[in-house]
Amino acid sequence: MALIIVYGVLFINIFYIVHDILFSAAADGSPIVARPNSAIPDHVVLQLDELIHSGLSVEDAVPYMRGKLVPAGYTPYPFRKNTEESLLDKLRSLVATYTFRNRVRELQEEGVDFTQHLYVPEVDPVTSSVRHDRADHNHLLKRIAQHIRDGGYEAFNYEAFSDVLADPLSSLTHAALVGKQRQSVKDAERLFHIMLQIRFRGMAMLKRQTM
């Protein structure tokens, strides 16, 4: 919701500029707009006004400004993948970039510097303990299963899987073994569970458990 409001703020400011209802300037030269937003730097509004008064249309000025936000030789990534962008989409991309940069700056002022560290954990204000969450267990499990299928676990006797497949009471399926459904968490769990059973308990224990 907050980001949508920001989009609207910039769009309204552009609307005023396009229709020659220009902003006034403060004593220090900063623009005074109808609906100011701290996430949008003053120079963005000033640059847009300057480009329009130099003869560019809004449709040309906005892509030009967005192009300056990426390194030379690169093209800004579209706001919607594989979809032709409208002027509003280009505005969204422009505003989202400045909103993100503003949030990074605010976090830096709070002592959370993402420009130096990829991950900055939260510190509990009461216990002073560092909070660490890992919510991608399914992805990690599928990676482990694929590593097993690729023969990456060299200490494991892969021939044992043949005996498990031949056992009608086993829960291992051929699809789970070969990774026919790579995104199946259930197959990854099944393969990993069987591998652990074979590795640490042996085939005899496995057969007793499946009977």
End-to-end CA distance of the chain: 56
Same-domain status, 157 and 84 = no
Confidence of residue 20 (pLDDT cuts 50, 70, 90): very low
- Whether 192 is in a domain gets the answer yes
Q: Write out pLDDT tens, residues 82-134.
A: 888 888 888 888 888 999 999 988 988 888 887 777 777 778 888 888 877 66
Q: Are residues 32 and 111 in the same domain?
A: yes
Task: For residues 67 and 94, state if they share a domain.
Answer: yes
pLDDT for the residue 11: 52
Give pLDDT, residue 6: 47
Do 83 and 7 lie in one domain? The reply is: yes
Domain boundaries, position 13: 2-118
Give domain status of residue 174, yes or no. Answer: yes
Residue 127 within a domain: no
Question: What is the pLDDT, as a whole number, of residue 182?
Answer: 84
Contact 56, 88 (CB under 8 A): no
96 and 152 belong to one structural domain: no
Q: What is the pLDDT of residue 115?
A: 77
Residue 14 has pLDDT above 80, yes or no: no
Mean pLDDT of the region 46-53: 86
Closest CA to 62 of 30, 2, 17, 22: 17
The predicted-structure confidence for 148-172, as pLDDT tens digits, reads as follows 899 888 878 888 888 888 887 778 8
What average pLDDT does the segment 42-66 reach?
A: 88
**Overall domain count for the chain:** 2
Tell me the whole-structure pTM to 2 decimals.
0.49
From 90, 118, 146, give the residue that closes a domain: 118
- 167 in the same domain as 103: no
Region 203-211 average pLDDT: 45
Residue 161 lies in a domain: yes
Greater pLDDT, 67 or 157: 67
CA distance 210 to 171: 8
In tens, the pLDDT along 134-150 reads 667 888 889 989 998 99
